Amino acid sequence: MAKEKEIKNGHHYDASDISVLEGLEPVRRRPGMYIGTTGPEGLHHLVWEIFDNSRDEAMGGFCNDIEVVLLPNNRVRVADNGRGIPVDIHKKTKVSALETVMTTLHAGGKFGGENSGYKVSGGLHGVGASVVNALSIYCKVEVHRDGGKYVQEYSQGKKKSAVKKVSSSKLNGTIVVFEPDQEIFKDIKFDWSTIVNHIRQQAYLVKGLKIKIIDARNYAGKIDDSDIFYFREFEFELPSISFYFEGGLISLIKYYNKFQKPIHSSIFYVEKELDSVGVEIALQYVDDIVEHIVPFANNIYTGEGGTHITGFKTALTRTLNTYCKKNEMMKESEGGFTGEDVLEGLTAVVSVKLREIQFEGQTKAKLGSMEAQGAVGTVFGEAFASFLEENPDDAKTIINKSILALKARKAAKAAKDSVLRKGALEGMTLPGKLADCQSKSAEESELFLVEGDSAGGSAKQGRDRRIQAVLPLRGKILNVERARIDKMLASKEVRALVIAMGTSIGDTFDLSKMRYHKIIIATDADVDGAHIRTLLLTLFYRYFRQVIEAGYIYIAQPPLYKIKKGKEINYAYSDEEKIKIIGKETDVSEIQAVETDVEPEGEEKEEEIKAKSNKVHIQRYKGLGEMNPEELWETTMDPSHRVLKKVDIEDAEEADKVFEILMGSEVPPRKSFIQSNAKLAEIDI
């Protein structure tokens, strides 16, 4: 009956309707399934996948040298001195093993069990090289092994020719060059600092591995991706950085804490294998109120944590509670530590290595292997208990810091409950100075955080009242760098923002109650404005990270100039845009002579300026308060014309890091930062 109904309605459904995508076509159709996103994060993920293959060679003891080069024309080259990908014919695919690895999903040297040559590796999904190949408009692999040099080229995952031996070679290793496909990645721009920071971590994780990164993007026509392993000596010096660490995780902890003040001198470290799981952990507590736990699984950074972090946190809480109770260091009325208490001020690196590893998702952001939880819990718990017994002074310092955190947590809960009670139960649902929007839909609602009452007044008059709310901030908000929730909520400005957002804070934070899906920071284009913006970003990073991760935080980009040419009015958001609007035919020296920070008064003065400046008048904005409501709407608030910068975790993390240096208690890092960056400062006199 159902079949008859289908045919009558013209809906014929049989085997012919089932699509079968061959080769690497599924990757090109759905790239997000394999690299997470086609934005900047996914673009850099291509580099990590190829680099991971070389790093796995180093983890297996077959390689000690890796070179990563950013080439002109959006190309990247990764070379290693490992064994080289096999080039003999694969029994199952009947083509070269190199071609199989590069053009077939779930093919590689990491699936062969005990005989594969890889005890552990990060690329167990088997999608790395083939996915990069599929998403590249150009890819070339050069293999040096068994006395020969072998080459194969590809485009969009398809080979251009068979694997060919082009010459003899005394080298060993693999060189991969790839160019991401612009059909997949709309904005191809590799970030130097992102690549350096990622690879620096890897250098710490693999002892004795030398890694060199070279930025050769500005040398088009002078260098190429030729068949040399390392760059020959040029008459010019290429920008580069090299890493080599023997200290491993202990060195990494020292690096993370170089701008912090450790509260105990000894860095805890353990490395042990249990039930075929390698566990390596280093930690140190610092004088701070936030945690910094960096997790790895088979040297893959697992930003979302996973089973190894669950095992670590559980063992940490249990061990400190046991030691504290055994040595009678806390009153029974205070109860015991929670995970929140023992994590305060902790810097830790947790690294596990497993033969058969399971990640949740292709991007490997979270470890799912259950055996890691038990192994980490046992190895770390036993070793950390011994560390506390052998270092009683360090143990006392750590316990006292956790007790302080416990007391602060209880005080913060009382303060938070008080704020929520006043806000929800006494009718003060929203702060009085908030000009709320009419819409009840969070998806379309926006909250502008503006600097001062003057800008607040213009914003309130110029906004779209239906979807735009305005919250003026008086002066600079509280420095939350070292402030706990109880002190933070004592600040009127911060409390007003928390209540306006509606999410609550701390352990009762609920992103689903967010009242606005766009929070727009709109501050002046001066030093004070930048400071307030940094304070706000630090606040969101410290206490509302999920709001940033959800993509709800934006920075307004108000114009720097208002330019009148006759009756025509344009706004310029940069000096380059100003010159473009003015036009090359205009005398720039004359225009600069009449630039002003305020509007001229009176018709005579306006006419005089027009005559002097060839009918071009430029007004330089230094603050949002200088704009009238119509100008503020047209340039900064109108969704159809405005320019917004979306804030991501890296933006907020960098702001937090700089703020820690500049506003923290340690003087040497601040002095070093100012000396290093003084030449970059723009002084507005």
Q: What is the mean pLDDT of residues 180-194?
A: 94
Q: Identify the top-confidence range among 3-7, 41-45, 414-418.
A: 41-45
Contact call for residues 385 and 379 (beta carbons, < 8 A) = no
Q: Given this model, what pLDDT does residue 119 score? A: 59
Q: What are phi and psi of 49, to 5 degrees?
A: -60, -45
Q: What is the mean pLDDT of residues 160-183?
A: 93
Residue 640 has pLDDT above 60, yes or no: yes
- Closest to 274 in 3D by CA, of 207, 355, 356, 374: 374
Bigger pLDDT: 397 vs 108: 397
Spatial neighbors of 278 by CB under 8 A, at least 6 apart, are 120, 271, 272, 352, 353, 354
Contact call for residues 258 and 284 (beta carbons, < 8 A) = no
Bigger pLDDT: 105 vs 63: 63
Bigger pLDDT: 135 vs 561: 135
Residue 459 has pLDDT above 80, yes or no: yes
To which residue do tokens 């036009």 refer? 583
Dist. CA 485–CA 480, nearest whole Å: 9
- Residues designated as active site: 451, 524, 526, 528
Dist. CA 151–CA 556, nearest whole Å: 50
43-47, 81-85, 355-359, 511-515: which has the minimum mean pLDDT?
355-359
- HSE of 49 in the Cβ direction (CA atoms, 13 Å)? 28
pLDDT band at 37 (very low <50, low <70, confident <90, very high): confident
142-156, 484-498, 552-566: which has the minimum mean pLDDT?
484-498
267-271, 368-372, 455-459: which has the minimum mean pLDDT?
455-459
Q: Given this model, what pLDDT does residue 660 score? A: 66
5-9, 438-442, 463-467: which has the minimum mean pLDDT?
5-9
Residue 220 has pLDDT above 90, yes or no: no
pLDDT band at 596 (very low <50, low <70, confident <90, very high): very low
Instruction: Kindly report the number of other CB atoms within 10 A of residue 674's CB atom.
Output: 12
Q: What is the mean pLDDT of residues 417-434?
A: 57
Q: What is the mean pLDDT of residues 621-648?
A: 86
Q: Given this model, what pLDDT does residue 67 score? A: 93
Dist. CA 468–CA 400, nearest whole Å: 47
Quick one: which H or E segment has residue 269? strand 268-274
Dist. CA 195–CA 46, nearest whole Å: 11
Beta-strand ranges (E) seen in 136-257 are 136-145, 148-155, 158-159, 164-168, 173-180, 210-215, 240-243
Q: Given this model, what pLDDT does residue 609 score? A: 41
Residue 228 has pLDDT above 60, yes or no: no
Per-residue pLDDT reduced to its tens digit, 494-516:
888 888 998 888 777 889 999 99
Find residue 277's DSSP bridge partners.
274, 354
Residue 683 has pLDDT above 60, yes or no: no
Residue 115 has pLDDT above 90, yes or no: no
Q: What is the mean pLDDT of residues 36-41?
A: 88
Per-residue pLDDT reduced to its tens digit, 334-346:
778 999 899 999 9
526 marked among binding-site residues: yes
77-91, 446-460, 484-498: which has the minimum mean pLDDT?
484-498
Q: Given this model, what pLDDT does residue 491 score? A: 77
Residue 437 has pLDDT above 70, yes or no: yes
- Closest to 72 in 3D by CA, of 257, 198, 243, 224: 224
Q: Given this model, what pLDDT does residue 23 score? A: 67
Distances (CA, A) of 71 to 159, 185, 238: 22, 17, 11
Q: Given this model, what pLDDT does residue 605 score? A: 41
pLDDT band at 420 (very low <50, low <70, confident <90, very high): low
Dist. CA 68–CA 231, nearest whole Å: 11
275 marked among binding-site residues: no
Domains of the chain (ranges plus CATH)? 25-243 (3.30.565.10), 249-285+300-410 (3.30.230.10), 430-557+646-680 (3.40.50.670), 561-620 (no CATH)
Q: Does the CA dihedral 228-233-239-243 come out positive or negative?
A: positive
Percent residues over pLDDT 90 in the chain: 44
Q: What is the mean pLDDT of residues 107-129?
A: 54
224 marked among binding-site residues: no
